[in-house]
A and B are shown apart, each in its own frame.
Chain A
């Protein structure tokens, strides 16, 4: 019986090609052989707003996603921080639960992360209007308390 081979890790160049193909309206750059960046405008939905987004990916690290513009994303009246971010000031988005491997290096960022960015932007707008985050998701504190 042959062993099931693990899915292959994609190279930075392969990730770059997928981004240039699917999100070619942004600017994709290669740094060395292991790091790429993408920067461009993403729209939340047909009647939604545009956001300048930057994605930084270094092999063996998780992709990092930043909303560059608006420089300071508005908050609903009664909230002090953004929902589902790693860093409020840097507006660094948190789009998946790492332990669940919803993304791993065998998957293209273009087909997984990018639609999640758009979805985050959409739910951000709903949250601005209603004060409620309707996109679901989990928070680190709730996991810690469920673990034991």
Chain B
């Protein structure tokens, strides 16, 4: 069992680590510029889409505050973008829309971007503005169309997303595995409905429901603003998802390229974490409970077609969609890898439940999360302590050591008087 003061110290370490795993303000601003630029191409005068006033917005981890740095410092940051059309030519099928969006992306200046490949529902665009490191994006652009007579993005998302009903945020999308519909259907009312903004709302509502607390740490409304400001703070659930994703990235980083494709997907990690979250107001309790609880939220259902039991992680805003549907594919390692990951999580996070020296904890955290962010975390915390001493706000518990500002008024606490370390150095 951890004492309160031990818990406070470890909590500070995890929170600072989460900050160091997040994207920086400059990366955030560069991401915003990049998807706005893509939006501009799609609405340019020579675009066939122009009459349908395409609106572009990020979705996924960028808007729910769970995006993290890549393990490879040169890696492309994943950005999920929705491109919403307000209407279409009557004759256009799903395939037409997909191709027209693709053509528009392909035709833009080649030095700025490369249309990488066509996915089932998205186009993948590798965006390189000036080719700067850490400002390269791997954008999955999802063409979509609204069917309720209003622009979901402009009228619902950009203006007070928190107040919208989840239903009102649905969008019809193309899906080249839905045949023959993909090739022949011209009526979006019949197409597959996706709800990325509804998902974001669902997630944020859970993140905000911290037991006994009201402080606002992250605003969904701000993050879906046409030009969202960088936000530094996160709710515990957001930080936990960031730590879990990073844990997954490090665990699978040396797997073969083919095996890496079957590693746990962020969407399932995020959904299971949110389903297992119970309003904990600190990272240690949240992580402990979520790591234990995730497997209980993977359900078993009998597939009516095959009569075989399948694993289900239902999309919370569309219960008919199974995020884990690819686990049942023949020869897939996805299910095994997911349970391997859960097991490793339990091992690696056990260290949080029992007191460990800072030195041992730092070694364990470096193995789990990578050297650079962990070392920077301890550096940052050390620096904070120095600043506290300089401003006369640092304290020790004489029995327990340095406690910063986390004083409890105990009789064993003393303030640190201002001073400078002196003496030789190497």
Contact = CB atoms under 8 A, between A and B. Distances in A.
Contact of B419 (A88, A102, A127): A102
A79 to B, nearest CB: 6
Contacts of A96: 419-422
A138 interface: yes
A42 B399 CA distance: 7
B210 interface: no
Interface stretch (B3-11, B180-188, B264-272): B3-11
B419 A112 contact: yes
Contact of A130 (B382, B417, B420, B425): B382
A116 B418 CA distance: 9
Interface in A1-47: 22-23, 25, 42-47
Contact of A140 (B5, B356, B383, B423): B423
A81 B426 contact: yes
B398 A139 contact: no
A52 interface: no
B424 A140 contact: yes
B402 A44 contact: yes
B390 interface: yes
Contacts of B5: 46
A77 to B, nearest CB: 12
A140 B395 CA distance: 27
A85 B361 CA distance: 26
Nearest to B416: A115
A134 B388 CA distance: 12
A129 B358 contact: yes
A18 to B, nearest CB: 11
Interface in A105-125: 107, 111-112, 114-116, 118-123, 125
* Most chain A CB within a 10 A radius of its CB, from B6, B414, B416, B425: B425
B425 to A, nearest CB: 5
B9 A23 contact: no
Contacts of B385: 119, 122-123, 134-135
Contacts of A134: 379, 382-383, 385-386
* Most chain A CB within a 10 A radius of its CB, from B6, B381, B382, B415: B382
Contacts of B414: 22, 111, 114-115
B323 interface: no
Contacts of A69: none
Contact of A49 (B359, B375, B421): B359
A interface residue count range (under 10 / 10 to 19 / 20 to 34 / 35 or more): 35 or more
B394 A119 contact: yes
B163 interface: no
Contact of A95 (B356, B357, B394, B419): B419
Nearest to A107: B417
B403 A45 contact: yes
B228 interface: no
A122 to B, nearest CB: 4
* Most chain A CB within a 10 A radius of its CB, from B362, B385, B389, B421: B421
A94 B402 CA distance: 18
Given A111-B414, A136-B386, A84 B398 contact: no
Contact of A83 (B9, B378, B381, B425): B425
B426 A47 contact: no
B421 A135 contact: yes
A81 B389 CA distance: 25
B372 to A, nearest CB: 11
Interface in B337-396: 355-359, 361-362, 375-376, 378-379, 381-383, 385-386, 389-390, 394-396
A132 B420 contact: no
A124 B379 CA distance: 12
A139 B420 CA distance: 10
B383 to A, nearest CB: 5
B359 A128 contact: yes
Interface string A79-97: 1110111101000011111
B77 to A, nearest CB: 26
Interface string A46-80: 11110000000000000000000000000000011
Contact of B402 (A23, A102, A122): A122
Contacts of A118: 396, 398, 401-402
A81 B424 contact: yes
Given A44-B402, A45-B403, A94 B382 contact: no
Contact of B396 (A25, A88, A95, A119): A119
A126 B357 CA distance: 12
A125 B382 CA distance: 10
B398 A136 contact: no
Instruction: Report, nearest first, the 10 A-B pairs whose CB atoms are least far apart.
Output: A94-B423, A134-B382, A137-B421, A126-B382, A45-B401, A46-B5, A84-B421, A43-B401, A102-B419, A45-B402
Given A49-B357, A49-B358, 14 more contacts: A22-B398, A45-B403, A46-B401, A47-B6, A47-B355, A94-B421, A107-B417, A116-B417, A118-B402, A125-B359, A129-B358, A129-B359, A129-B375, A130-B378
12 contacts: A43-B399, A46-B5, A46-B403, A47-B6, A48-B401, A84-B424, A107-B417, A123-B385, A125-B359, A136-B390, A139-B425, A140-B423
